[in-house]
Amino acid sequence: MAISADGAEQVEDWTERYRPKSERHLEGNEAQRKRIRQWLQQWSEGKPEKVGILLTGPPGVGKTSIAHAIAADMGWDVIELNASDERNAAALRRAATSGATHFTFGLDGSFSTDESRHSLILIDEVDHLGGSFRAASEKRISNTIAARSEDEDDVNELRGDTGGKAELLRLLQISKQPVILTCNDPMRLWGQGRGWRSARDRFSRLAEIIQFRRASPTALRRIANRVIAAEDITADSSAVDRLVSANPGDIRALVRDLQAIAATSDHMDTDAVVSQVSMGVR
């Protein structure tokens, strides 16, 4: 259990505690994982034709986890940016592009020219980027970066998501590092207007699009039993079956349900599961 700055106890999120540290801990989407692993291994031999991969699929199916797990297996650092937090062109360039144009970007901000090593640029939830694919002016991007570095406001500073989508495309064009983007709903990224096909094609020329599927009941059951054993709690097999049957293939939701149930008892029965799943739509 963690302690906050004010001394209060904080309960650790089990979705982080049980985030896979290696690919061997992952479940489901075997073909998709194999393709990602092949693509990353190509970077050891040179720069692939497409420097990016766009992982699409519903939340909770392991899109972000697989990027971390395979990078860990390969001994690579991960530079992660959640596009729902920092989303305009200046924010993306400051956090990701500067690292992507160097061969190795250390977590301490240092750079290395060792071309045998790579860092993985990971940008989550790019479908949260609003606006069009219109690029922001270089002057406004520069002004925004300068104002933020000096902790000052500038009248020309970029706001909201301005230029974010165009900056993603620029990143994919210039990157010397592998870039993985994740997305729950690709149509939100492409846009709902008549130009969505053109937007999709612009991305697909630079990044391979890989569709992730929901976790199967068998995979969910293995994950549930693994967490139950690790937490030293007990569970009726019928309770595990009930929890899995109520889950739509969302690994994150499964682990959170287990944590909520375990908070009230060290044994999970069917009544506890029914009570938990009745509190939310599955």
Q: What is the pLDDT of residue 98?
A: 60
Q: What is the pLDDT of residue 57?
A: 95
For 223-242, how does the pLDDT look when each residue is reduced to its tens digit (9 = 90+)?
999 999 999 999 999 999 99
Q: What is the pLDDT of residue 155?
A: 54
What DSSP string describes 77-94? EEEEEETTTS-SHHHHII
Q: What is the pLDDT of residue 265?
A: 94
Q: What is the pLDDT of residue 80?
A: 85
For 245-282, how does the pLDDT look when each residue is reduced to its tens digit (9 = 90+)?
999 999 999 999 999 999 999 999 999 999 999 986 55
Half-sphere exposure of 259 (CA within 13 A, CB side): 14
Q: What is the pLDDT of residue 149?
A: 60
Q: What is the pLDDT of residue 105?
A: 39
- Per DSSP, what are the bridge partners of residue 235? 268
11-44 as b/e, with b when 16 or more CB fall inside 10 Å? eeebbeebbbeebeebbbbeebbeebeebbeebe
Q: What is the pLDDT of residue 113?
A: 46
User: Which residue positions in the chain have pLDDT lower than 50?
Assistant: 1-5, 8, 103-113
